Structure 1
Amino acid sequence: MQIQDLPYSDPGVPDARSGPRFLWWLGRNQLGGQFKSLAWGLLHFVSVSALPFCVGTAIQAVVDRSGSRLALAGALLALAGFGTALGDTFLHRAAVTNWITAAARVQQLLARRAAVLGSALTRRVAAGEVVAVSTGDVEKIGWFVEAVSRFTAAALTVVLVCVALLVYQPALGVVVAAGLPLLAIAVLPLLPRATRRADLQREKAGRATELASDTVAGLRVLRGIGGEELFLDRYRRASQEVRHAAVRSARMWSLISAIQVLLPGLLMVVVVWYGVHLARQGRITVGELVTVYSSVMVLTYPLRHFEEIAMAYSFSRPSAKRAARVLSLERATDTEGSRTADVPSGDLYDPATGLLAPSGRLTAVVCGDPDAAGLLAERLGGHPAEQSDSVLLGGVPLDELPLDTAREAVLVQDKDPVLLSGSLRELLDVPGSGHVDARDALAAAQCGDVLEALAQGSLDAEDPMDTRITERGRSLSGGQRQRLALARSLVTDPAVLVLDEPTSAVDSHTEARIAEGVRALREGRTTVVFTSSPLLLDHADRVVLVHEGEVAAVGVHRELVHTEPRYRAVVTRETEDEAALSGVLEEDHVLNALEEIEETA
C-alpha cells in the first residue's frame, strides 16, 4: 500500500480483544511495507557499521605503506557511503509510508465503527475519548507500527557486527560481544515505571480533551449562566495536571536516554584501555584497534533504536487499548443483515413497549421521562440496547436488514441535532428519495426568517442557499438550528421519520405552523414525533402515552387530555392532584389557545 492509494478499499476486520493484539494485527496487515522498511534499514545500518572496517583498513594500509590496500579501502569507503545514503533515503520513505498507512487504516476503522454505532457511540464512550483516539492516539499507534521494522534492522545489525568483530579480532570482539547485550537490556528495569508514567499522562490528557470538548459544546449555555470562568478554571487545573504528568514522564525517559549515552561511553573506555594494552603487547595492530573502537562508537546509533522502540510501545500501548475499546463496540443488531436489501413497508412496532406507529400516519409519543424517550427513539431507529429489543417494520426486524437499508428505511433526528460547517446548500445536500425539494422542506420547517438572517449576515452570497453556516451552527439560535435540522431530515424523505422533541426551542406560533407543514409534507409517510407540546399533539393522527416503559394509553390528544390523568400531567406540567382540581378548565384554555393560533395562522 502506497500513500497515493489511500484510503483502503477495505481496512479489514481488526483484532480488538486488547491493545497488543490490535498492534500485532496492524503489523501483520502491513507485512509488505514492513519487509521493505527492514530491507532498506539493513542496507543503511550495515553500511554505517561497515565504515569503521574501511577506516581501520585504510589506517593499517598507511602504516604498512600499501597503496593498493589504501585504494581498496577508499573504494570500500565510497561504497559504504553510497549504501548509507541510499538506505537512509529509502528507509525514511518506507518508514513514513508505514506510519501514514497504519494511521489511515486506524482512522478508517474508527470512522466505520462510528458510522455503524451512530449516536450510540457517545453513549458508550465519552466524546473526548473518541477525539483523543482519532487524533493523538492514531499518531502514536502509527509510530510504533513503523518503528518495529527499523528496530528489527538495528537489532540484526548489532548481531552481525558482534559476530564480525569476533571473527575479525577475537580478543576485543569478546569484550564488545559481552558488553553490547548489557547495554541493550540495561534500561529494562526502568521501562515499567516509564510506561506507568506515560499511561498516566495519556489518561490525564484524555480527560482534559474530554473536558475541553464538552466545554466548547456547551459554550453558549455557559455564557448564558456566567459559568465561563468556572469551566476555564477546571480546564486550567486539568491542563496543569497533564503538564505535571508529562514532566514526570519526560524525567524518566531522559534518565533512560542518559543511560543509553553513559554505558556505551564506558564500553568505549574499556575497549580503548584493553586495546592499547593488547597493542603494546603486539597482539593487535593499530588498524584493528581503530576498527574495533570505531565500531563501538558507531553502534551507539543502532542501539538508540532500542530506546525508541521501548518509548514507542510505552506510548502506543495505552493508545491501542483505547482504540481497541472503541473498535470492539458492537451494534446490537446485525450490521450485514440476513435479509434482502429491499426497504420494507408497513407499520412500525416496538415489542418492548408495545408502541405501534401505523403506516402513513403521524403518531405522537408522550413520555414523561426524557431519557427514556431518547432511548426509545434510538431503538426505533435500529439501535436497541439488546438484540431482543429489535423493532419491526412491516413485520421485518430491523436487525435482519443490512445497515444501509435500515437507515434508508428509518431516520431518527435526536433532540440535539448537529449542523456541520458549510453552505446551507451543502447542509441540505443529503441522500434522499428526490421527492422533497429543499425549499419545500425549508418552508415546512418555517425557516423563512433563518434564510433572511443568513442573507443579511453574508456579504458575498446572493442566494441564501450559498450562505455559510459556522461549525455546529454556533452563529444561529437554538430554534434556528432546530428548524434547519428538521428541514434536513424532511429532505431525506425516509419511509419512517422519527423526531425527538423537534420544536423544543421554538415559540408557540412557529411551532403550530411547523406542525401543519410537517403533516402536509409527510402526507402518506410514517412519522413518529416524541413531544409533550399540545400544539404538535393536536395535529397527530394518533397519540401514544408511554409510562414506565410500556404503552399506557392510545387515542387522540383532545380525548386523552380529558380521560387520562397521567397524560394530562405530562402535557400540562401539572401534578395529578392539581390536574384533578383544574383539568377541565386547563384544557379549555389550551383549546382556546389552539383556536386563536389557528385563526392567526
Structure 2
Amino acid sequence: MKALCWGLLHFVSVSGLPFCVGFAVQAVVDRSGARLALAGGLIAVCALGIALGDTMLHRTAVTNWITAAARVQQLLARRTALLGSALTRRVAAGEIVSVSTGDVEKIGWFVEAVSRFTAAAVTIVLVCVALVVYQPALGIVVAVGVPVLALAVLPLLPRATRRADFQRDKAGRATELASDTVAGLRVLRGIGGEELFLDRYRSASQEVRHAAVRSARMWSLIAAIQVLLPGLLLIAVVWHGVNLAREGRITVGELVTVYSAVMLLTYPLHHFEEIAMAYSFSRPSAKRAARVLSLERATDGEGSREAVVPAGDLYDPATGLLAPAGRLTAVVCGDPDAAGVLAERLGGHTAASSDLPSALVGGVPLDELPLDSARAAVLVQDKDPVLLSGTLRELLDVPGSGDVDAAAALAAAQCRDVLDALAQGSLDTGDPMDARITERGRSLSGGQRQRLALARSLITDPEVLVLDEPTSAVDSHTEARIAEGIRSLRQGRTTVVFTSSPLLLDHADRVALVHEGEVAAVGLHRDLLRGEPRYRAVVTRETDDQAAVEEPARPSPPGGLDGPTELTELTALTDLHEIDELDELEEIEETA
C-alpha cells in the first residue's frame, strides 16, 4: 500500500507537468505574467512531487522485493528443516538451490513490479479522464488509443510466457547438473569422468543459451511494439490537433498540453511491459517454489499427542522389525535402497503420500508426536551424512542429553587420526577443535567425514539411534574398533545399525534379516551364518550360483570344516584375533 501511494504521487506529478507547461505556454501567448508565475509554481510543486515520489517509491518497492524474497526463503528453510533428508529424495538438490536463490528473486521482482504497475494503471486512467474533460476533441482520441496500446501485446504474452518457462526449465536442469557435478567432483576425478560431465554441462549450457535467445527475441518484439504504437498515437494526436488549431477549435496551449500528456504517457505504459515480463518469469519460479512448499511429512508439526519423548522398543509394523530397548540391533538388507527407506521410516520420515504405517517407539506412533519429540526420540544418520562448514567445535555443538561429551564420542568413532590431521592443517591454532572444516567436509576423506558424522550422532545420545552403513568407508581394523566403541558408548540405549559387515554384526545383541520387505530371520550373527542361506549370501557376498554349487557339499566329516560357512567364520575370527593383537601391540608401544 505504501508503494502504491508513493507511486501515485510520482506518476501523477509526472502527468501533471503537461498541464502546467500548456498553462504556461498559453500564459505567454496571452501575455499574462500572473498566470505564468502560477504555472512556474505548479511546475515546482510537480518537480518536488516527482523527486519525493520517485525516491520513496524506489525505497518501498525494493523493500517489498527483498521482503518477499526473504519470506519465501524462510518458508523454504522451514520446509527443508521439517522434511529433513527426505526432501532430497523427492526433489533434486540442484532444484532446491535454484528455488532458494534465483527463483525467490523472480518472485520478489513480481511483487515489487505490482505496486508500480498499479500506480501506473491508475495514473493512465486519471490522465485519460482529465484529457477528455480538458479537451474532448483530442481527449477522446487519447482515451481510445491508450487502452489499445496497453492491450496490444496481450496476444504475444502466451508465447513469451511459454518461452520463458522453457528457459527456466533448461536453466534449472543445468543448475542441478552443476550442483551434482561439484558434489561428486572428487569421485569424478578418481574415475576420469571430468570430461564426460563437462561435455554434459556444456551441452546443457548451450541449451539454456538457445532458449534465452528465443525468449529475448519475443520480448524484444514486445518492446518494439511498446515503442512503435505510442509513436503512432503521438503522430495521430499531433496531426489531428494541428488541424483543430488551424480551425480555431483549440488553443495553442491546449495542443501543447495534450501533446505533452501523450508523450509522457509512454513512461507509465512501459510498466505494462515490465509487469508482463515479471509475471512470465516469476510464474515458473512460483510453481517450483510452491512444489517444494507443498511437500508434507507424515506427521504434522504439532502432533496429536503430548510433547513427551517415548521410551521402549522400536517396532516397524510394515516389516515386523523389532529393536528391543537398550540393545544393539543389526539389520541386514540385501537392497541398499530398501535399507535407506526403512531407516528413514524408523525415524518417522515417512512421506505423507505413503500408505505404510508409522514406526512405533514404546507403542507410540511417531507420526502422532510433535516434530521436536519425534526427533528427540529417534535420530537417523543416513549413509551420506552432511558436514556443515565451520570449526569442529561448532560441528559437534549439537543438542544432546549431556551424558556424552565430545571427547568420548570422538574416541568411540575412532577419530584420533582425524584430529591429528585437522591440527596439522590448521594455521591459526593447534587445537583441532578450532580447526575449520570446509563445506560438506570436502577437505576430508570419505572415511574421515563418516567418522566425524558418527561422533556428532553419538553426542546427541538419543533414546533410539539408527545408523545406516556407518562404517562403509573405513578399513576393517578401524571398523572393528568403531563397533566396540558404539557398543560400549551406547550401553543401555537402543541402537539400530543397517550393515552387512561381519565385524559389526558380530557385536550386535540381535541381528534381523529383512528380505523382500519383511523380517525373514532373527538371531545372532554366527547362528544365522550357519542356518540361513539368504543371510549368508548377503554377508559373504555369495552369489546364487555359488550357493547352488556349494550347498550339496555342506556335509563334512566330523572335525572338518563345514563348507564355506565355517571358512567364513574362521576368516572373521582370524581377523578379529589379528585386531586384538594389533590393539595389544599399540598399547605396548604407547606404554613404552
TM class by shorter-chain length? over 0.9
Give the equivalent residue in structure 1 for 2:382. Answer: 414
The separation in 2 between residues aligned to 1:521 and 1:590, in whole angstroms, is 24
Corresponding letter in the other structure for 2:163: R
Instruction: Compute the displacement of 1:131 (Å).
Output: 1.1
Rounded Cα–Cα distance in structure 2 between residues aligned with 1:128 and 1:596: 46
Tell me if 1:500 matches 2:471.
no
Does 1:203 find its partner at 2:174?
Answer: no
Q: How does 1:124-139 map to 2 (within 5 A)?
A: 124-139=90-105
Deviation readout 1:180-225 (Å, 9 max, x if unpaired) = 0110011111111111110000000000001001111111110000
For residues 279 and 390 of structure 1, the distance between their equivalents in structure 2, rounded to whole angstroms, comes to 84
Match of 2:540 among 572, 583, 586: 572
Task: Report what 2:567 is aligned to.
Answer: 585
Shift of 1:388: 3.9
Q: Does 1:223 align with 2:205?
A: no
Q: Structure 2: any 5+ residue segments left out of the alignment?
A: 554-563, 584-592
Q: Which amino acid aligns with 2:581?
A: E
- Alignment of structure 1 residues 340-379 onto 2, 5 Å: 340-379=306-345
Cα separation, 2, equivalents of 1:256 and 1:578 = 75
Aligned equivalents of 1:418 and 1:211: distance in 2? Answer: 19
The equivalences for 1:51-62 within 5 A come to 51-62=17-28
Aligned amino acid, residue 318 of structure 1:
P
Superposed, which structure 2 residues align to 1:24-423 within 5 Å?
35-385=1-351, 386=354, 388-423=356-391
Change (3 A) 1:493 1:578: farther
- 1:534 maps to 502
Q: Which residue of 2 aligns with 1:524?
A: 492
- CA drift of 1:596 comes to 2.3
- In the alignment, the residues of structure 1 paired with residue 524 and residue 459 of structure 2 have an alpha-carbon distance, to the nearest angstrom, of 28
Contact map agreement 1:150 1:305 (CA 8 A) in 2:
yes
The 1-side partners of 2:271 and 2:121 are apart by 8
Q: 2:249 & 2:479 partners in 1: Cα distance?
A: 99
AA partner of residue 573 (structure 2):
L
Report the Cα distance in structure 2 between the residues aligned to 1:408 and 1:598, rounded to whole angstroms.
36
C-alpha distance in 2 between matches for 1:310 and 1:538:
66
Count of residues in Structure 1 that have an aligned counterpart in Structure 2: 567
Q: What is the percentage of aligned positions where both structures have the same residue?
A: 83
**AA paired with 1:298?**
L
Pick closer, same or farther for the CA change 1:128–1:578 going to 2, 3 Å: farther
- What secondary structure does 2:530 align onto? helix
2: CA distance between counterparts of 1:42 and 1:569? 77
Deviations 1:309-346 (A, max 9, x none): 10011011111111111111111223321111110100
Give the aligned CA root-mean-square deviation in angstroms. Answer: 1.0
| Residues 578 and 67 (structure 1), Cα distance of their counterparts in 2 relative to 1, 3 Å cut | farther
Matched letter for residue 567 of structure 2: L
1:335 and 1:399 in contact (8 A); partners too: no
> SS at 1:349's partner residue?
strand
Contact 2:328 2:495 in 1 (8 A): yes
Q: For each residue in 1:87-124, what CA deviation from the matched residue of structure 2 results, as whole angstroms up to 9, or x when unmatched?
A: 11111111111111111111111111111111111111
For residue 4 of structure 2, what is the amino acid of its counterpart? L
* Contact 2:424-2:430 at 8 Å conserved across structures: no
Is the Cα–Cα contact under 8 Å of residues 569 and 579 in structure 1 kept in the other structure? no
1:450 partnered with 2:418: yes
Q: C-alpha displacement at 1:578, in angstroms?
A: 5.5
- Which secondary structure does the structure 1 equivalent of 2:300 belong to? coil
Larger Rg: 2
Return the offset for 1:585. 2.0
Cα displacement string for residues 202-255 of structure 1 (whole angstroms, at most 9, x for unaligned residues): 000000001001111111110000000110010011011101111111111111
Letter in 2 for 1:309: I
Match of 2:427 in 1: 459
Which AA in structure 1 matches 2:467?
L
Contact 2:309 2:373 in 1 (8 A): yes
Shift of 1:598: 2.5
Q: Taking structure 1 as reference, are residues 579 and 461 closer, same or farther at Cα in structure 2, changes over 3 Å only?
A: farther
The match for 1:553 among 510, 521, 538 is 521
Whether 1:600 aligns to 2:582 is yes
Q: Deviations over 1:480-509 (max 9, x none)?
A: 010000011111111110000000010000
Instruction: Assess, with a 3 A threshold, how the Cα gap between structure 1 residues 548 and 340 changes in structure 2: closer, same or farther.
Output: same
SS at match of 1:389: coil
State whether residues 333 and 390 of structure 1, in contact with CA within 8 Å, keep that contact through their aligned partners in structure 2.
Answer: no
Higher mean alpha-carbon deviation, 455-464 vs 494-503, is at 455-464
Take 2:341 and 2:293, find their aligned partners in 1: how far apart are those partners?
Answer: 22
- Equivalent position of 2:394 in the other structure: 426
Whole-angstrom CA distance in 2 between matches of 1:566 and 1:310: 63
For 2:427 and 2:15, the matched residues in 1 are separated by 65
Quote how far apart the aligned CAs of 1:461 are. 1.5
What is the CA-CA distance between 1:126 and the residue it aligns to?
Answer: 1.2
Distance of 1:196 and 1:280 partners within structure 2: 50
Q: Distance in 2 between matches of 1:179 and 1:429?
A: 67
Gaps of 5+ in 1: 1-34
| Distance in 2 separating the partners of 1:404 and 1:503 | 28
Name 1:562's counterpart in structure 2. Answer: 530
Return the alpha-carbon distance in structure 1 between the equivalents of residues 350 and 433 of structure 2: 37
Q: What is the deviation of 1:579? A: 5.6
Q: Which amino acid aligns with 1:585?
A: L
How high is the TM-score relative to the length of structure 1?
Answer: 0.93
**CA contact under 8 A between 1:332 and 1:387: conserved in structure 2?**
no
Structure 1 residue 583, shift from structure 2 partner: 2.0
Q: Tell me, what secondary structure is at the counterpart of 2:332?
A: strand
For the Cα contact (< 8 Å) 1:215–1:231, is it kept in 2? yes
Q: Hey, what's the Cα distance between the residues in 2 that align with 1:445 and 1:259? A: 68
Could you report, residue by residue, the CA deviation over 1:449-487 in whole angstroms, capped at 9, with x for unpaired residues?
A: 001111111111221100011111111111001000001
How far the C-alpha of 1:387 sits from its partner, in A, is 5.1
Given that 1:565 and 1:579 are in contact with CA atoms closer than 8 Å, whether structure 2 keeps it comes out as: no
Segment drifting more, 326-335 vs 477-486: 326-335
Secondary structure in structure 1 of the residue aligned to 2:466 = strand
